[in-house]
Amino acid sequence: MRIMRARLAAPLLALAAPAAAQAPTSVGPHDRAEAVKIITDLRRIVSPAGLQAVETIPIGGIRQVVSIRSQDLRNPVLIYLHGGPGFVEMPLDWWWDRGCDEYFTVVHWDQRNAGKTYVASGPSAPALLTPERFQQDAEEVVQWARRRFGKRKVFVLGHSWGSMLGLKLAAAHPEWLHAYIGMGQLTDGLESERRGWAWSLAQAKADNNAAAVRELEGIAPYAARAPIPVAAIMTQRKWLDHYGGAAWRRSGGAGFEMAAMKLAPEYDDDDVRRAFEGQPSVTEALLPRVLATDLSGIRTLRTPLILLLGRHDINVSSAVAAEWYAKVRAPSKRLVWFERSAHHLTSEEPGKLLTTLVTVARPIAAQAGDVAP
């Protein structure tokens, strides 16, 4: 028996020898370029029915940038409206959105003053940094997508600030949509801010964090009226993020997912360096107005509604959004809770996000005959 084992082992050792001889002397990747090449090769779309592209298109009088990923262009279009304002998702898509392009044609749009659009067109004039201008931009992007892909209807998914754009678009143009998908949905901005401040203060007191209590009490009465000063918003967010109100059981809000941006295949080195260069001016111009927005008066939609809410979202209160959902009427509506998420569902529960889109949203398009066989 020992002789037989020795004879069997000899060929195995012979096979292993060349592999050992060719083993690399060091482990990579050694720089961003090498890492991005690996990711690019892994996610390359090779299907002849598909498309993988970054396109610069005329929107709102400037050049704006979108990415497109689809294994089959016969599938329904899903347009993602990112939050912030100015918090781009295109460079994060590579790691949280895996698989979505098998069921949808996914379009990410970098809004004005953000990401690749900022790099392509520079800063917008202050007079153009208004909710109304961004709303018009969003509508132009949807119209472009309908033409570009030959679709009568598309899905729009709005996250956070993007959910304000998305819900208003759904109310104004239901004929463009298979359904509106709201994630981290903004409804009553001031009420959400008040609850976030109260929650953060309660966490600070329970933690015996004298500095946090002092700073939070220093901005009281917070969100009693609009507009909320940007400095006060930043103080509220500082401690809300610290206690996990934006990313469940994580301190620092969205910071944990930002490392993925450095490896984004759609972003070159300059894009990465400058992605948030235009955000300060957008924050000053838009954020107080966004947080003063009250969309709770929208009580009827003429397109299906899908609401995706993080159970622990304090940043844009999921409780306030759920209260609105209970009152709104739509041809059909569905609320899906993400039990291990706060505000950043894409990064906190990407698997559940994918399965929800495939099992809840895609069948709506299938009923309209807008899916690949």
Q: Give residue 16's pLDDT.
A: 45
Q: Give residue 254's pLDDT.
A: 79
User: What percent of the chain lies above the pLDDT cut of 90?
Assistant: 90
User: What percent of the chain lies above the pLDDT cut of 70?
Assistant: 94
- What is the pLDDT confidence band of residue 22, given thresholds at 50, 70 and 90? low
Q: Give residue 14's pLDDT.
A: 41
What pLDDT digit, counting tens, does each position of 24-46 carry? 577 889 999 999 999 999 999 99
pLDDT score of 23 more than 90 = no
pLDDT score of 224 more than 50 = yes
- What is the pLDDT confidence band of residue 11, given thresholds at 50, 70 and 90? very low
Give me the residue spans of the domains in the chain: 38-188+255-367, 191-242
- What is the pLDDT confidence band of residue 259, given thresholds at 50, 70 and 90? confident
Q: Give residue 256's pLDDT.
A: 83
Mean pLDDT score, 303-316: 98
Mean pLDDT score, 70-85: 97
pLDDT score of 96 more than 60 = yes
Q: Give residue 28's pLDDT.
A: 82
Q: Give residue 37's pLDDT.
A: 96
Window from 169-173, 181-185, 252-256, 312-316 with minimum mean pLDDT: 252-256
Class of domain 38-188+255-367 (CATH, top level): alpha beta
Q: Give residue 6's pLDDT.
A: 39
Q: Give residue 24's pLDDT.
A: 59
Retrieve residue 225's tokens.
């009226």
Q: Give residue 182's pLDDT.
A: 98
Angle, helices 279-291 vs 189-206, to 10°: value is 100
What pLDDT digit, counting tens, does each position of 164-199 carry? 999 999 999 999 999 999 999 999 999 999 999 999
Taking the model in full, what pTM does it have?
0.92
